[in-house]
Amino acid sequence: MSGGRFDFDDGGAYCGGWEGGKAHGHGLCTGPKGQGEYSGSWNFGFEVAGVYTWPSGNTFEGYWSQGKRHGLGIETKGRWLYKGEWTHGFKGRYGIRQSTSSGAKYEGTWNNGLQDGYGTETYADGGEPAWDLWGGVGPERVGSTGRGQEGWGAAGTIRWAGV
């Protein structure tokens, strides 16, 4: 394995290990005009494990497979944080999405990037309804510990009285 620096025509650059003409081992790759960067492990041109930072400041720290997020990872996006599993580039199986400012969060199952299956959502005021979702839509409320919240079921909108 050798190492070095390669400058792309668009202003991006790669500095790190090389093998067979591809990024391999540890390296740092910056995007066009130096915007955004990935720092971590590479396997013959594909990211394996590391941190990607977008020009917006959003980040992903975790694992990749064949150029897509796959395995465990942490994504920060604006005021939201997601910690959990990724499958072929999408939030998948199980994870927690929470607000970094209000305390609101969803903890449960995911499928193809959407909240799907069983999960618990905690509102900023501490209320916790339990949902059963299919494909991120059509929630059916299966329980609630909150007060005066609305939920949806097969019969339409339901309002729970304060407990």
Q: Dump pLDDT digits (tens) for 41-85.
A: 999 999 999 999 999 999 999 999 999 999 999 999 999 999 999
pTM for this prediction: 0.76
The answer for residues whose C-beta is within 8 angstroms of residue 88's C-beta and 6 or more apart is 65, 68, 70
Written as six digits, the tokens of 93 are 């199986």
Structural domain containing residue 23:
1-57
Does residue 53 sit in the same domain as residue 84? no
Q: Residue 125 falls within a domain, yes or no?
A: yes
Does residue 85 sit in the same domain as residue 143? yes
Does residue 88 sit in the same domain as residue 27? no
Q: Residue 116 falls within a domain, yes or no?
A: yes
Furthest CA-CA distance within the chain = 67
Q: Residue 161 falls within a domain, yes or no?
A: no
| Structural domains of the chain, count | 2
Provide the pLDDT confidence category of residue 39 given band limits of 50, 70 and 90. very high
